Amino acid sequence: MMINIAERNNVTILGKGEQVLLFGHGFGCDQSLWHSLTTYLKDAYKIILFDYVGAGKSDILAYDSIKYNSLDGYAQDVIDVIEAFDLKNIIFIGHSISSMIGMLAAIKKPQYFSKLIMIGPSPCYLNDGSYTGGFSRSEIEELLETMEMNFEGWASYMAPMAMDQSKDSYLTKTLERTFVSTNPSIARQFAEVTFFSDYRHQLGELQIPTLLLQCANDSIVPIEVGDYLNEHITDSELVILNTRGHYPHLSDPNLTAEIILQYLKRG
């Protein structure tokens, strides 16, 4: 049976340029959260947006708990979108866990990618010996339990923390609405896959030039993680953004776009 990737992943195409920018959203999010950033980029680039299965306006009936029990399933979705639309020479822009999803896709099919841009990336969210991931195992288990017991309560707690703004701010409310719009059981599984993932051992396999954008005060990913990634990815560049929270494309899209454009114009 032929799968309609455009419908399954709710693919949206914008922009006027030849060069393709393919955007992958983070956990609990969907493509709508890229709007502020793409406003600065769509005049010069071809923008491809999509929702992972289970997020946004994707086809929730296509969700397979076995396929999506690791990031490899999500990486295959990225590859599916690329192949369905015959995209070439892609610059993949991934937020948070999508940075690792993009990395896995680029390791599997490097011929499709020219650059990766990772916004708030982390290869491992758990503290492990001298490695500072930001969370203990018990903290993650507590978060997952809260999602099961009171999904809306989890969203109202997580949104202001992740945005690093008051619970009443417009951006926090926007993020909270996006969290709540996700199917709770799918969000719970994606959270477990995200926060218990560890891709440190695969960083050395990535051969695509990579820009790392790390917020100076990221409430989810400690500053040490940016340094770790920059040290372990062969062809990488780290830029520290003078911003707070985990969503610079929402809280400071102008600065985020400026840094991305500078990087892309250098060729």
219: annotated active-site residue:
no
- Predicted confidence (pLDDT) per residue in 8-24, tens digit: 999 999 988 999 999 99
| Cβ-contact 211, 239 below 8 angstroms | yes
Q: Which residues of 190-212 are buried (b: 16+ CB within 10 A; e: fewer)?
A: bbbbbbebebbeebeebebbbbb
- Which of the following is catalytic: 36, 98, 164, 246? 246
185: annotated active-site residue:
no
Radius of gyration of the chain (CA): 17
232: annotated active-site residue:
no
What average pLDDT does the structure give for the chain?
95
Please name the amino acid found at residue 147. Answer: M
pLDDT number for residue 63: 96
The CA angle 91-94-98, to the nearest 5 degrees, is 130
- Predicted confidence (pLDDT) per residue in 232-261, tens digit: 999 999 999 999 999 999 999 999 999 999
pLDDT number for residue 2: 56
| Cβ-contact 175, 248 below 8 angstroms | no
- Predicted confidence (pLDDT) per residue in 19-58, tens digit: 999 999 999 999 999 999 999 999 999 999 999 999 999 9
Mean pLDDT of 105-118: 98
Name the residue among 247, 56, 35 with its Cα closest to residue 162.
247
pLDDT number for residue 77: 96
- Which of the following is catalytic: 218, 249, 251, 252? 218
Q: Output the furthest CA–CA distance in the chain (Å, rounded).
A: 49
Give the integer Cα–Cα distance in Å for 19 and 128. Answer: 39
Name the residue among 222, 218, 221 with its Cα closest to residue 242.
218
Q: Which residue has the tokens 């995209």?
A: 87
What is the distance between the terminal CA atoms of the chain, rounded to a whole angstrom?
41
| Cβ-contact 243, 252 below 8 angstroms | yes
Is 90's pLDDT higher than 50?
yes
Give the integer Cα–Cα distance in Å for 103 and 24. Answer: 11
Kind and range of the H or E run holding 119: strand 113-119
Name the residue among 250, 267, 259 with its Cα closest to residue 95.
250
% of the chain at pLDDT higher than 70: 99
Q: What is the DSSP letter of 214?
A: E
**Edge-to-edge strand list for the sheet holding 46-49:** 12-15, 46-49, 20-24, 90-95, 113-119, 210-217, 236-244
- Which of the following is catalytic: 36, 58, 96, 219? 96
Is 1's pLDDT higher than 60?
no
For the chain, list the domains and their CATH numbers: 5-123+199-265 (3.40.50.1820)
Kind and range of the H or E run holding 255: helix 253-265
